[in-house]
Amino acid sequence: MLRLGEKIVIVDDAFEQNLPVGEYGYIIAYDRNPDNAFDYVVRCPMAGRNYFVPASDIQSEDQLIKQEAERVEREALLDFALATHNEKLFYQIMNGDADHPEAQGEPTQEAMSQAEFIKQVNLRAWI
Protein backbone atom coordinates (compact mmCIF):
# COMPACT_ATOMS: atom_id res chain seq x y z
CA MET A 1 0.00 0.00 0.00
CA LEU A 2 1.29 3.41 -0.91
CA ARG A 3 1.71 6.12 1.73
CA LEU A 4 -0.11 9.42 1.93
CA GLY A 5 1.80 12.19 0.18
CA GLU A 6 3.86 9.74 -1.91
CA LYS A 7 4.72 10.85 -5.42
CA ILE A 8 3.20 8.51 -7.99
CA VAL A 9 2.91 8.27 -11.76
CA ILE A 10 -0.35 7.41 -13.50
CA VAL A 11 0.41 4.42 -15.73
CA ASP A 12 -3.05 3.30 -16.89
CA ASP A 13 -6.66 4.40 -17.21
CA ALA A 14 -8.66 1.23 -16.53
CA PHE A 15 -12.02 2.94 -16.07
CA GLU A 16 -11.53 5.41 -18.94
CA GLN A 17 -11.99 8.51 -16.84
CA ASN A 18 -9.57 10.62 -18.90
CA LEU A 19 -6.70 10.31 -16.44
CA PRO A 20 -3.53 12.11 -17.51
CA VAL A 21 -1.49 8.94 -18.20
CA GLY A 22 2.22 9.53 -17.74
CA GLU A 23 1.75 12.51 -15.44
CA TYR A 24 2.78 12.52 -11.81
CA GLY A 25 0.58 13.13 -8.83
CA TYR A 26 0.40 12.73 -5.07
CA ILE A 27 -1.75 10.44 -2.97
CA ILE A 28 -3.95 12.62 -0.82
CA ALA A 29 -6.41 10.04 0.58
CA TYR A 30 -7.36 6.37 0.77
CA ASP A 31 -10.81 5.28 -0.29
CA ARG A 32 -11.73 2.73 2.37
CA ASN A 33 -15.24 2.02 1.10
CA PRO A 34 -15.35 -1.74 0.34
CA ASP A 35 -18.13 -1.26 -2.21
CA ASN A 36 -15.98 1.09 -4.29
CA ALA A 37 -13.55 -0.01 -7.02
CA PHE A 38 -11.21 2.88 -6.31
CA ASP A 39 -8.37 2.63 -3.79
CA TYR A 40 -6.81 6.10 -3.74
CA VAL A 41 -7.57 9.76 -4.28
CA VAL A 42 -4.75 11.33 -6.28
CA ARG A 43 -4.02 15.02 -6.78
CA CYS A 44 -2.50 15.88 -10.17
CA PRO A 45 -0.95 19.36 -10.02
CA MET A 46 -0.59 19.65 -13.81
CA ALA A 47 -4.31 19.03 -14.34
CA GLY A 48 -5.31 20.84 -11.16
CA ARG A 49 -7.76 18.06 -10.28
CA ASN A 50 -8.27 15.18 -7.88
CA TYR A 51 -8.96 11.71 -9.27
CA PHE A 52 -10.27 8.53 -7.75
CA VAL A 53 -8.02 5.74 -9.05
CA PRO A 54 -7.61 1.99 -8.49
CA ALA A 55 -4.24 0.71 -7.30
CA SER A 56 -3.54 -0.85 -10.71
CA ASP A 57 -3.61 2.56 -12.44
CA ILE A 58 -0.78 4.12 -10.43
CA GLN A 59 2.77 3.20 -9.55
CA SER A 60 5.34 4.69 -7.22
CA GLU A 61 7.81 7.00 -8.92
CA ASP A 62 10.71 5.32 -7.09
CA GLN A 63 9.66 1.91 -8.42
CA LEU A 64 9.42 3.22 -11.99
CA ILE A 65 12.86 4.84 -11.78
CA LYS A 66 14.35 1.58 -10.46
CA GLN A 67 12.75 -0.47 -13.27
CA GLU A 68 13.98 1.98 -15.90
CA ALA A 69 17.53 1.91 -14.49
CA GLU A 70 17.56 -1.92 -14.58
CA ARG A 71 16.28 -1.91 -18.17
CA VAL A 72 18.93 0.58 -19.29
CA GLU A 73 21.67 -1.39 -17.50
CA ARG A 74 20.55 -4.63 -19.19
CA GLU A 75 20.48 -2.98 -22.63
CA ALA A 76 23.96 -1.50 -22.10
CA LEU A 77 25.36 -4.89 -21.06
CA LEU A 78 23.69 -6.50 -24.06
CA ASP A 79 25.20 -3.91 -26.41
CA PHE A 80 28.62 -4.47 -24.82
CA ALA A 81 28.32 -8.25 -25.18
CA LEU A 82 27.39 -7.92 -28.84
CA ALA A 83 30.13 -5.40 -29.57
CA THR A 84 32.84 -7.52 -27.95
CA HIS A 85 31.47 -10.85 -29.25
CA ASN A 86 31.24 -12.11 -25.66
CA GLU A 87 28.95 -15.09 -26.09
CA LYS A 88 28.97 -16.12 -22.42
CA LEU A 89 27.87 -12.66 -21.25
CA PHE A 90 25.20 -12.56 -23.96
CA TYR A 91 23.69 -15.84 -22.80
CA GLN A 92 23.84 -14.74 -19.16
CA ILE A 93 21.90 -11.57 -19.97
CA MET A 94 19.36 -13.23 -22.23
CA ASN A 95 18.72 -16.26 -19.99
CA GLY A 96 18.77 -14.48 -16.65
CA ASP A 97 22.24 -15.41 -15.34
CA ALA A 98 22.06 -18.99 -16.64
CA ASP A 99 25.05 -20.53 -18.39
CA HIS A 100 25.16 -21.45 -22.03
CA PRO A 101 22.22 -23.82 -22.75
CA GLU A 102 24.42 -26.40 -24.49
CA ALA A 103 26.81 -26.49 -21.54
CA GLN A 104 23.94 -27.26 -19.16
CA GLY A 105 22.85 -30.34 -21.08
CA GLU A 106 26.26 -32.05 -21.11
CA PRO A 107 26.87 -34.38 -18.19
CA THR A 108 30.26 -34.16 -16.59
CA GLN A 109 32.47 -37.14 -17.42
CA GLU A 110 35.13 -38.58 -15.21
CA ALA A 111 38.66 -38.87 -16.57
CA MET A 112 39.17 -42.13 -18.45
CA SER A 113 42.33 -44.13 -18.44
CA GLN A 114 44.17 -44.53 -21.74
CA ALA A 115 43.10 -48.15 -22.07
CA GLU A 116 39.44 -47.28 -21.46
CA PHE A 117 39.64 -44.51 -24.06
CA ILE A 118 41.09 -46.84 -26.71
CA LYS A 119 38.41 -49.42 -25.91
CA GLN A 120 35.66 -46.79 -26.42
CA VAL A 121 37.20 -45.65 -29.73
CA ASN A 122 37.45 -49.22 -31.00
CA LEU A 123 33.83 -49.91 -30.02
CA ARG A 124 32.60 -46.87 -31.92
CA ALA A 125 34.79 -47.71 -34.91
CA TRP A 126 33.41 -51.25 -34.92
CA ILE A 127 29.80 -50.04 -35.02
The neighbour count for residue 57, using CB atoms within 10 Å, is 22
d(CA 45, CA 40): 16
Query: Whole-angstrom Cα distance, residue 40 to residue 72?
Result: 31
DSSP state of 57: G
**103: pLDDT strictly greater than 70:** no
Domains of the chain and any CATH numbers: 7-61 (2.30.30.40)
What is the 8-class DSSP label of residue 56? G
Q: State the average pLDDT over residues 77-82.
A: 91
Q: Is 86 helix (H, G, I), strand (E, B) or coil?
A: coil
Q: Provide the pLDDT for residue 56.
A: 93
Name the pTM for this structure.
Answer: 0.61
Residue 67: pLDDT above 80? Answer: yes
Given a contact cutoff of 8 angstroms between Cβ atoms, the answer to whether 20 and 10 are in contact is yes
Residue type, 41: V
- What type of residue is 4? L
The residue-averaged pLDDT of 98-104 equals: 51
CA distance 44 to 15: 17
